[in-house]
Amino acid sequence: GAGVSQSPSNKVTEKGKDVELRCDPISGHTALYWYRQSLGQGLEFLIYFQGNSAPDKSGLPSDRFSAERTGGSVSTLTIQRTQQEDSAVYLCASSPSKRGGTETQYFGPGTRLLVL
């Protein structure tokens, strides 16, 4: 079956512009995660959606970052007024989130964002 897809694959933008990154999770997966992978650093949790529950936004680094998930499926991560330090690979993952299961997260190929 189809895996997690993300678009665009690469995005180059100018400082101060807004960007939108899209994630299409595996069909039927109720949980969706966004992570950021900066050069030389590990993966950093950004936000987590689970079904119709309020998202866990505890990892968002500033109020310039926001995300939404429409209809429990596709998610969009928006970065407003981009800064050079926002340059990173943004990874999306989904999981079936079964109770009692290992809840393995399956990742998309990521979006590489470069802010000039």
Q: Note the residues at the interface with other proteins (CB under 8 A).
A: 31, 33, 35, 41-43, 45, 48, 50, 56, 59, 89, 91, 93, 95, 97, 102-110, 112
Where do we find the tokens 């895996």? 3
Cβ pair 105, 97 in contact under 8 A: no
Minimum CB separation of residue 81 from other proteins in Å reads 26
Q: For other proteins, give the closer residue by CB, 110 or 115.
A: 110
- Residue type for position 107: F
Helix ranges (H only) for 1-59 are none
Output the six-digit token pair for 67: 């995300």
Minimum CB separation of residue 106 from other proteins in Å reads 7
Q: For other proteins, give the closer residue by CB, 45 or 81.
A: 45
